[in-house]
């Protein structure tokens, strides 16, 4: 069996590690662009050169999993008061991850009591979110972290995944994030819970609101800027152009084509032609899409809603009782893949294809979007109960 993320602290191998080849390269960051000047403009974003991908016919070789240094699975406490002035938090310092730093940090927060009957306990979800952000940033004052990441006047889009046939981003997680944004000073009207259609959002348990007081929540209302990718040209929905910042809120799922659907693939719901981006196991399309400024330059945080995950059937998600937090979507997807692999192995299901087909993670690392090599990921696990 291919090894997965376990309490002993192991990450499953990447496709290159599985086949015995482990080389990485880093591309220069893609410059950010200014927000669209009006809803009618459709600027074109520069194409990205395709990245060579490994052969899909290679045999899977079972090799020992690379290891990382585990962190004790206990809750951390805020630092004790001190008379030494705390350095001012800055957004740029918080957002740094590999390749700007040696490693990318991913935090898994678990709470065995988060499910109160059929619905998650909202107070516990908030506790998990706070502890996850505290551990991710090593800053005790989580409100100060939110205030450093987001300004009150900014329009913030929460990208959820509500694909129609099951396993949506759990609303309890999304509303917890929205609550902390408001606690940090953002008006609820500046926060948009977004996915491609009203119907899917409502079906997933979100309350629609367009233009009224309170949190905004609605689907796409038109197309905006264009991006030329290797496989196809696509247009972002105009909400991606209009927002100042993004929080990516995926829920981990196995995917028959891409191996894993989490943060990176969540943005297939941000564009008008996702069906045109599924060729060649979604590689390099997923990576190229996430390299576009509308996503890369605007993403401030990734919160994986893993209270439930879908290791097999999207219509029958399974409880995982966890949140995943990172500033690195590639690293978070790598850890999400390991959760899916572990669950599939425990059920006696094949997991090799999940690793083999998720080669877009390697392409994303080569584009400098984040880390998938286990040696570049610092995984911290926190158990609250």
Say if residue 61's pLDDT is above 70: no
112-116, Cβ contacts within 8 angstroms, sequence gap of 24 or more: 112/321, 112/385, 113/385, 114/307, 114/321, 115/307, 115/319, 115/321
**Mean of the per-residue pLDDT values of the chain:** 84
For the whole model, what pTM was predicted?
0.81
Domains recognised in the chain with CATH numbers? 97-134+141-383 (3.40.50)
Say if residue 354's pLDDT is above 70: yes
Backbone angles phi, psi at 107, to 5 degrees: -115, 130
Backbone angles phi, psi at 35, to 5 degrees: -60, 155
Neighbours of 32 (CB within 10 A): 11
Interval 300-334: pLDDT, tens: 999 999 999 999 988 889 999 999 999 999 999 99
| pLDDT score at 26 | 35
| Residue 59: exposure state from Cβ atoms within 10 A (0-12, 13-18, ≥19) | exposed
Say if residue 37's pLDDT is above 80: no
Q: For a pLDDT cut of 70, what percent of the chain falls above it?
A: 77
- Residue 338 in contact with residue 372, Cβ under 8 Å? no
Give whole-number Cα distances, 114 to 109, 128, 131, 178, 375, in Å: 11, 9, 14, 18, 31
Q: How confident is the model at residue 163 (pLDDT cuts 50, 70, 90)?
A: confident
* Cα angle 114, 251, 176; round to 5: 50
Say if residue 175's pLDDT is above 80: yes
Q: What is the mean pLDDT of residues 201-218?
A: 97
Q: Which of 56-70, 176-190, 286-300, 302-316 has the lowest mean pLDDT?
A: 56-70
Strands in 72-211 per DSSP E: 104-110, 115-116, 119-120, 156-160, 191-194
- Separation of alpha carbons 121 and 113, rounded Å: 8
């Amino acid at each position: 069996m291919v090894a997965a993320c376990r309490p002993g602290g192991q990450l499953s191998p990447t496709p290159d590690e599985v086949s015995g080849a482990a080389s990485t390269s880093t591309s220069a960051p893609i410059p950010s662009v200014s927000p669209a000047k009006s809803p009618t403009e459709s600027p074109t974003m520069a194409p990205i050169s395709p990245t060579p991908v490994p052969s899909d016919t290679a045999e899977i070789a079972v090799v020992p999993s690379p290891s990382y240094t585990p962190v004790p699975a206990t809750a951390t406490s805020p630092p004790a008061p001190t008379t030494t002035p705390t350095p001012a938090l800055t957004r740029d310092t918080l957002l740094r991850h590999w390749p700007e730093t040696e490693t990318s940090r991913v935090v898994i927060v678990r709470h065995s009591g988060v499910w109160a009957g059929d619905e998650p306990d909202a107070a516990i979800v908030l506790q998990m979110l706070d502890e996850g952000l505290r551990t991710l940033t090593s800053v005790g004052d989580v409100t100060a972290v939110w205030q450093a990441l987001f300004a009150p006047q900014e329009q913030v889009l929460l990208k959820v995944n509500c694909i129609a046939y099951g396993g949506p981003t759990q609303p309890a997680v999304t509303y917890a994030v929205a609550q902390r944004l408001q606690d940090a000073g953002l008006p609820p009207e500046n926060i948009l819970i977004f996915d491609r259609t009203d119907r899917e959002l409502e079906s997933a348990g979100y309350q629609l609101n367009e233009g009224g007081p309170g949190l905004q929540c609605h689907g796409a209302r038109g197309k905006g800027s264009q991006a030329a990718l290797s496989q196809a040209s696509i247009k972002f929905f105009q909400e991606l152009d209009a927002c100042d910042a993004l929080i990516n809120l995926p829920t981990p799922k196995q995917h028959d084509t891409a191996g894993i659907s989490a943060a990176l693939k969540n943005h297939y719901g941000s564009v008008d032609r996702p069906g045109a981006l599924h060729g060649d196991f979604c590689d390099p399309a997923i990576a190229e899409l996430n390299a576009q400024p509308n996503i890369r330059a605007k993403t401030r945080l990734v919160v994986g809603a893993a209270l439930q995950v879908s290791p097999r059937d999207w219509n029958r998600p399974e409880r995982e009782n966890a949140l995943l937090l990172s500033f690195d979507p590639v690293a978070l997807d790598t850890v999400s893949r390991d959760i899916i692999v572990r669950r599939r192995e425990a059920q006696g299901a094949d997991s090799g294809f999940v690793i083999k087909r998720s080669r877009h993670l390697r392409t994303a690392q080569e584009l400098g979007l984040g880390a998938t090599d286990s040696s570049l990921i610092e995984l911290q696990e926190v158990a609250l109960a």
